[in-house]
Amino acid sequence: MPIIDLKVSGPENPAVAQQLVTEISRLTKEVLKKKPEVTVITVSFVPDYLWFVNSVSLAELKTKSFHLHIKISDSTNLKVDKADYIEAVHKSLSSLLGGVHPVSYTAIQEMKADAYGYEGLTIEYKYINNQKK
């Protein structure tokens, strides 16, 4: 159900990517109550010299940053759940990456269930079909 795109500043590092994915998967399950078996996470690394905050590169600032973008089904989480998730992601990724710039973002995008899905079926169809069982 959720798809997560994570951008991290710095050189590509598969070991760091695996640590981040493990932690994000855990938080997504525990805080947002999303099923791990349908959670997809992609990780990309952006060189510090190509990531800018207020027109200054992270290389110059000697810091790190991340941007996490998660898509979830509309109206499946309360505002407090989303706030807790944003806080937990920031704390966890700051701890794992170290020296994270305060302007590191987590964005939760709520998708309408009739316009989002997997296996060629919308989330709305899956929900209705599961109610009949």
Residue 132 confidence (pLDDT) above 80: no
Q: pLDDT > 90: what percent of the chain? A: 85
pLDDT at 22 over 80: yes
What is each CA distance from 74 to 39, 89, 99, in whole angstroms? 16, 20, 33
Average pLDDT score, the chain: 95
pTM above 0.85, yes or no: yes
User: pLDDT (tens digit, 9 = 90+) per residue, 52-67?
Assistant: 999 999 999 999 999 9
pLDDT at 40: 97
Q: Which domains does the chain have, with CATH numbers?
A: 3-131 (3.30.429.10)
- Mean local confidence (pLDDT), 17-44: 97
Residues 6+ away with beta carbon under 8 Å from 23: 92, 93, 96
Say what the alpha-carbon torsion angle 67, 72, 74, 78 is, to the nearest 10 degrees. Answer: -80
In the structure, what pLDDT confidence band is assigned to residue 133 with cuts at 50, 70 and 90?
low
Sequence-ordered list of residues with C-beta below 8 angstroms from that of 49, at least 6 positions apart, any chain: 57, 58, 59
- The predicted-structure confidence for 87-122, as pLDDT tens digits, reads as follows 999 999 999 999 999 999 999 999 998 998 888 989
CA distances 45 to 22, 78, 118, Å, are: 17, 31, 26
